[in-house]
Structures are given as structure tokens and as C-alpha cells.
Homo-oligomer: A and B are copies of this chain.
Amino acid sequence: MRTSEEYLECLRAMKPNVRMAAEVVKRDHPLILPGVNVMRITYDAAEDPEQEALFTATSQFTGKKISRFCHVCQSVDDLLTKQKMIRTGARLSGFCIQRCMGTDTMNMLSIVTKEIDDEHGTEYYDRFVEFLKGYQEKDQIAGALQTDAKGDRSKRPHEQADPDSHVRVISQKKDGIIVRGAKENITMASYCDELVVFPTRTLTSDEKQWAVAFAIPADWDNVHIINRASAPRERKLLKAPLNTYGSSDAVVVFDDTFVPWERVFMCGEHEFGGRMALCFAQCHRHSYCGCKPAVDDIVMGLIALAAEYYGVEGKSHIREKLSHLAGTAELIFAAGIAGAVNSTKAASGTQMPDAIYSNVGRRLAGESTYDAWGMMADVAGGFPVTMPFEEDYYDPQTGPWMEKYTVRNPKVSAENMHRLQRTISDYLASSWAGVWQVGAVHGGGSPAMETIAILSNYDFEERKKIVKRLAGIEE
């Protein structure tokens, strides 16, 4: 397995195809490093004896120990453990652990490539397994490139003025395919090893050229990563782990990119376009049932610590908020557990979490995000967002005043109060926190998408039958 240092070396060795603010930048650019540091958490945890059991698994293909982020779930237990790992990881990184996007992509491909083969006699599954073995062996990270530019939302892919609004196959060659288009909102694109592309929606028989899935190295020719980086405000004097983490999202442009056949996992089987999209969503929504509780854990921690430091612990409005957040966190986590307990085995042997539970959990996660922030804001008070800059706490003239007027609870040092308030400030009033709040609403599909999934999977006819019997209705 790879160490976090080896991972960083891999990144440094990659060809420069990342652009930011009109410049080509290195993958260890200071604005990108915070995202890299989140990835490093996952490597370090795999080496940490206390975390190893959670962060590693055994490959069913090779029997070797691998990162659980590279593992394809084989049992209820695998799903339960994945959920716990994600909660643990997100607690460490301060928000999203990111790397599960690759995990869910691999789980999805392991399911759908087999289904295509079973239907069409193709050999995508074997191809994918070969790819996956290398991916596991090299302990890699994959970005999930699902969301297309999409163009006019009221039109289907083949009706768009610009056919490239959705990534598509321009031509097929003997040794591979040429693709064109762009994928958006791609987290980790600038610091992952592999880019894995698959459709964002259902496709019709007119849309075979858009039915494409493949994986390529992130620094491949004719791939352009236009990156946006986000992180809590960098600390100059008051260093803290949180401020070393962050994330990047990108628009990834495929400018007539060649993909060799051994890396193509779907090509033209349009009826599996929607299946890939939904199957990934289902796996990823189950993962959200692990990470969003961790975000609530952090919000609860900030509220509980603020209450202690401010000397208002035990006040009824604090207790009510904490108990409400605990309820939200554990209902979401419970939905994930129920999603695992009610999971089913796909043809390939991969364990697929239940649709209803993954969706009701993920929806609650999305719906409750801004609520949690409102509670944090209420308890934190105004000062964390109006507090002077760091330097003023260390300036000979103003520093003593800041210290004098910062102390509240006499048991808490001015520095620790300062640390807490500045961290709250990062969560309440930073670009980075805004990015992830929106991510908590939209990642894996917004609440509106989960509502659609629930409505299409739930058996309302069965409920009608219950009331017909009670009412004595015979039809």
C-alpha cells in the first residue's frame, strides 16, 4: 500500500495539465495542497494501528490488504464498515473525506459492467476487474466524473444545439475511442490519479454516442483540468489542523481525447446510461449516510465547546439544539445502517445498498445542512464573524487588549477561546465552508433528486390496499 509521501511524489511526477486563474500550476500548488492533505489522512489512517481495521480491507480479487476506499463491498458488513470509515474520515478532515467518490464509482462499475455483459455478451466486467486490480495494487484515487455541462435543461442530449453539452464518443478507432465534452463540479480532479467518466442521466436509442464510461490517468493527453481551490483562511500565526485541509473542484475538458479500449467500460449501450447514473447515486447516497453525521458531529462539538467556553452549558436552548442535532445525525446514520441491512447482491457479487433507505437518509442530510449552520450561528454569537484579524491578537499595541477582552470563562485561556472562535469563523464565514454546505446539499443529488428516487421506488399501492381493507372497499 502507498504511503502519503509516495502519493505526494506521484502527484509531483504527473504532467502539468491543471490550470488555475489562467495559469498552468503544479499539483502541489499551495492552493491545491489542502485538498492533497485530506487525501493524506486516508493513507495515514491505513497505517495507524488504531484505524487500520476500518480503513483497510481484503481484495476479493487478490486476497491482499488494500485501502477500503479501493474496495468493492461484498457483504452487509462491508457496507456497515464503509459507512463507519467515512464518518471517521470526515471527522478527521473537518468536513468531507472526498475519496469515497472513487469508491462508489468502483462499486457502481463492478455492478453495471457485469449487467451489460449479461445483456450484450460484452466483456466490460473482466476489463474493469483488470483495471481495478491495478488501481487497488497502486492504492490509487479516482475522481467521479458524472455531471455534464448539460446545456439547455429542457432538452435531451441529442436535442442540444451543441452536441458536446454531454460528453460523447466522437469516433471509434481500432485501439480505442475519441471523446469530447466537459464534466463539471469534479472534486479531487487536480489531485487524483484516475479520472472515471460515466453518464449523468438516462439515454435513449438516439443517444448511443453519449453512452460512454471509461477511466484515464488524470494527466492524460488532451485532458484539461480547470481548477478552483477552496480552503479555510490560511493561518499565519495561530496554526491549526483544520486550516491545512481543503478541497478543489474542477471543470474537466475532454478535447478530443483518446481512450484505449482496455479502459472503456461502456460504449453505446444506451439503456445502461441511466442505470450507471442511478447506481452510482445509490452507492454515493449511502456514503452520505456516513459523512453527514460526521459534519453534525463537528457542529455538535463546536456548539458544545462554545457553550462550555462561554459558560452557558446546560442552558435549555443549547440542550435542545444539541439533542436535535444528535437526532438528525443518528437518523441519517440509522438510514445507512438500514440501507446496509436491506442491501442486495448484484450479479457481480457486489453488495448494493437499499434504494429507499439510502435516499431517505441522504435527503435528510441535504435538508438539514443549513439548519445545522443556523444553530451553530445562534450559539456562537456574532463575535466569531466580526473578530479582528489574527495579527491584531499578536501586535504589541492591540494584542494585550484582545487578550484582556477575549477572556470569558476563567478556566479557559484567551488563546483557546481565540482558537475556538477563529475555527467557528472558518465554519460560519469562509468561502470553503460555503462550498461544502452546497456540497452537502447537492453531492450525490439534491433533496429534490432523492424525492424523485423515493417516489419511484416506494410501494404506495401496498398502502392503498391497507386502507381499502380497513374501509371495506372492494374494487
Residues of A bordering B, CB below 8 Å: 19-22, 80, 91, 94, 147, 149-154, 161-162, 164-165, 182, 184-187, 224, 226-228, 230, 233, 238-242, 249-251, 253, 255, 297-298, 300-302, 304-305, 308, 310-312, 316-317, 319-320, 322-323, 326-327, 330-331, 333-335, 337-339, 341-342, 356-357, 360-361, 363-364, 366-367, 369-371, 373-374, 377-378, 380-392, 394-395, 397-398, 401-402, 404-410, 416, 419-420, 422-423, 428-435, 437-439, 441-443, 446-448, 451, 454-455, 458, 460-473, 475
> How many angstroms between the C-alpha atoms of A378 and B448 in the bound complex?
8
A298 in contact with B435 given A21-B389, A154-B311, A448-B378 (CB within 8 Å): no
> How many angstroms between the C-alpha atoms of A451 and B421 in the bound complex?
25
26 CB-based A-B contacts, threshold 8 Å: A19-B395, A21-B391, A22-B395, A154-B311, A164-B405, A186-B386, A228-B387, A228-B388, A230-B429, A242-B470, A249-B385, A251-B405, A298-B466, A316-B320, A320-B320, A326-B454, A326-B458, A334-B338, A337-B342, A366-B378, A370-B373, A378-B442, A381-B446, A419-B471, A419-B472, A429-B438
Please tell me if the beta carbons of B334 and A401 are within 8 angstroms of each other in the complex: no
Nearest residue, chain B, Cβ from A164:
B404
> How many angstroms between the C-alpha atoms of A341 and B410 in the bound complex?
44
A454 in contact with B323 given A419-B471, A473-B416 (CB within 8 Å): yes
Residue of A335, A371, A468, A472 most packed against chain B (CB within 10 A): A472
A152 in contact with B410 given A226-B388, A334-B334, A438-B377 (CB within 8 Å): yes
Please tell me if the beta carbons of A331 and B304 are within 8 angstroms of each other in the complex: no
Taking CB atoms, residues of chain B closer than 8 Å to A337 are: 334, 337-338, 341-342
Nearest residue, chain B, Cβ from A31:
B389
A386 in contact with B228 given A337-B338, A463-B297 (CB within 8 Å): yes
> How many angstroms between the C-alpha atoms of A303 and B184 in the bound complex?
21
Please tell me if the beta carbons of B466 and A301 are within 8 angstroms of each other in the complex: yes
Partner of A253 from the list B305, B363, B395, B401 (CB cut-off 8 Å) is: B401
Please tell me if the beta carbons of B316 and A447 are within 8 angstroms of each other in the complex: no
> How many angstroms between the C-alpha atoms of A423 and B471 in the bound complex?
6
Nearest residue, chain B, Cβ from A399:
B22
Taking CB atoms, residues of chain B closer than 8 Å to A240 are: 470-472
Nearest residue, chain B, Cβ from A248:
B386
Taking CB atoms, residues of chain B closer than 8 Å to A367 are: 374
Cβ of A225 to closest chain B Cβ, rounded Å: 10
Sample of 18 more A-B contacts, CB < 8 Å, known A184-B405, A326-B454, A334-B335? A19-B392, A150-B408, A152-B409, A162-B407, A226-B402, A301-B466, A305-B467, A326-B356, A326-B455, A327-B454, A330-B356, A330-B357, A334-B337, A341-B341, A385-B439, A416-B473, A429-B431, A431-B431
A473 in contact with B419 given A22-B392, A402-B226, A438-B428 (CB within 8 Å): yes
